[in-house]
Amino acid sequence: MQVMTVRFDKLGVVIAAIIAYAAFAAPFATFRANRIVPGEARSILDSLPAAVGPLLLAILVIAAIIALLKTPLVLRLAASVIALAALAILIGVAGSFLTPEGNTFARISPASGFWLLIFAFTLLLADVLTRLNLSPWARLGGLVIAALAIGLLLASGSWNSLSILKEYANRADSFWAEGSKHVTLALGSLAAAVVVGLPLGILCHRVDKFRAGVLNVLNIIQTIPSIALFGLLIAPLGWVATHVPGAAALGIRGIGAAPAFLALFLYSLLPVVANTVVGLAGVPRAANDAARGMGMTDRQRLFGVEFPLAFPVILTGIRIVLVQNIGLATIAALIGGGGFGVFVFQGVGQTAMDLVLLGAVPTVAMAFAAAIILDAVIEMTATKRRVETA
């Protein structure tokens, strides 16, 4: 007689436990009579129309069982994607269902159970994706599909009854204005750091005397807390604005975006310069000798041999800077530099958490997307390099 053996997936046990707690014990949505009063918790069955609540519970239970047992990766992928999609669509349904007819003050927001479910299924998805070992292009494709799906949900208006989007509706214009400031700060300071940092890194690589000095100074800049560095640049820039003709016309002012830009630029220099130095130092001696033997000039060697070989390491530095800058740009709001931090700090000041989310969610999403994109690009350049040098 054959004995059926049920084998459990170790991570699946953890995930299934989180799902069970989040689905049956934790609140799914929070109902508040207005924006800042404390909320009342609502379970899945209370937040959704009669037939839909049990349907969601059924989906969650099936997905939890798939996670719990040792199942094929494709099945696990499908379970996590379907559960995440169901949660994303149904939280919007819960929003409209819980909002009393014609009431514009009531606020519905996702509660801890919803976030835990999202966390559990993201964990499952991350595990599947790691095990599938996707190619860089497939990862980029996945990112595009996820972005499109979220864009579609936003455009369809199915989330409009949720509190965070009500905060957005009140501030739609300033949201996009602050968003573009945020992106300009993060990308502009990165571009400036690359333009200055690459030559500086090459100089450090070629001239030993510079290396220790430059890297020490850049290291010390990193130890200055960001809010202090932002503040300290106010004075010199204010002086430049009033004493250098034309500087004020260029938008250089003591407070606002200029000190924030400069501070982000200064923080960005170390990873760019250090990785350029490390990348160039890692170029195999044989490659350099061969290039010299072929009669290449110093400049040809730099651009034809050293630079392409060091490129993946330099890109890693750029990835660090970009993710870090997107996060740090939130602090610019403290000195009037704008960016999504404006909503975060306003929200903290008013204890309006939906406003905090309005600032924090796009920041996290951008940093996350930037990390995925640059990781994929780094892997592509690194494999290309291996193929070429093999």
Partner 1 sequence: MKEAGVKAWLPSLLRLVLVVLLVAFVTNPGWFEPLLKPLTENNAPAIYNQGSLLTLTLLHLRTVLIATVAATIVAVALAILVTRPAGVEFLPLSRSLVNIGQTFPPVAVLALAVPAVGFGEKPTLIALFLYGLLPIFENALTGLTTLPANVVEAARGAGMTGWQRLVQVELPLSAPIILGGIRLSVVISLATATIGSTVAARTLGEVIIAGLLSNNLAFVLQGGLIVAALAVLIYDGLSAIERYTARRMGQETA
Residues in contact with partner 1 by the rule CB under 8 A: 10-11, 123, 126-127, 129-131, 220, 222-232, 234-235, 323, 326-328, 330-331, 334-335, 341, 344-345, 347-348, 351, 353, 356-357, 359-360, 363-364, 367-368, 370-371, 375
Which token pair is 297?
């000039």
Closest distance of CB 199 from partner 1, Å: 26
How far CA 100 is from CA of 54, 59, 126, in Å, comes to 22, 27, 37
Return the structure tokens found at 6: 């049920």
Q: How far is the CB of 301 from partner 1 (least distance, A)?
A: 27
In the bound state with partner 1, the residue whose beta carbon lies nearer, of 142 and 231, is: 231
CB 40 within 8 A of CB 32: yes
- Our CB check for partner 1 shows the closer of 9 and 306 to be 9
Beta-bridge mates of residue 69: 8
Question: Cα–Cα–Cα angle for 324, 281, 221, nearest 5°?
Answer: 35
Closer to partner 1 by CB, 204 or 326: give it.
326
Of the pair 24, 368, the CB lying nearest partner 1 is at 368
Q: Which conformational region is residue 261 in: left (phi greater than 0), alpha (psi within -120 to 50 degrees), or beta?
A: alpha
Task: Map tokens 């905060």 to a residue.
Answer: 167
Q: How far is the CB of 120 from partner 1 (least distance, A)?
A: 13
Nearer to partner 1, 127 or 306 (CB): 127
How far apart, in whole angstroms, are the C-alpha atoms of residue 173 and residue 169? 9
Return the structure tokens found at 144: 């595009």
Structure tokens at 246: 């034309």
CA distance 348 to 165: 17
Nearer to partner 1 among residue 131 and residue 384 (C-beta): 131
The torsion region of residue 55 among left (phi > 0), alpha (psi -120 to 50) and beta comes to alpha
Q: How far is the CB of 154 from partner 1 (least distance, A)?
A: 20
Q: Which is nearer to partner 1, 240 or 371 (CB)?
A: 371
Which residue number, 57 or 380, has a Cβ lying nearer to partner 1? 380
Question: What DSSP assignment string belongs to 232-244?
Answer: HTHHHHHHHHHHS
* The CA-based dihedral angle spanning residues 66, 67, 71, 76, taken in that order and rounded to the nearest 10 degrees: 90
CB of 275 to partner 1, least distance (A): 16
| Angle formed at CA 135 by CA 134 and CA 140, multiple of 5 degrees | 95
The phi, psi pair for 69, rounded to 5°, reads -90, 165
Query: Is the Cβ of residue 238 or residue 304 nearer to partner 1 in the bound state?
Result: 238
Return the number of the residue (312 or 359) whose C-beta is nearest partner 1: 359
Q: What is the nearest approach in angstroms of partner 1 to the Cβ of residue 375? A: 8
Is the four-CA dihedral 53, 59, 62, 63 of positive or negative sign? negative
- Min CB(133)–partner 1 separation in Å: 8
Dihedral of CA 17/53/75/142: which sign? negative
Tokens at 310, concatenated: 């060091």
| Beta carbon of residue 302, minimum distance to partner 1 (angstroms, whole number) | 26
Measured over all CA atoms, what is the biggest interatomic distance in the chain, rounded to whole angstroms?
A: 93
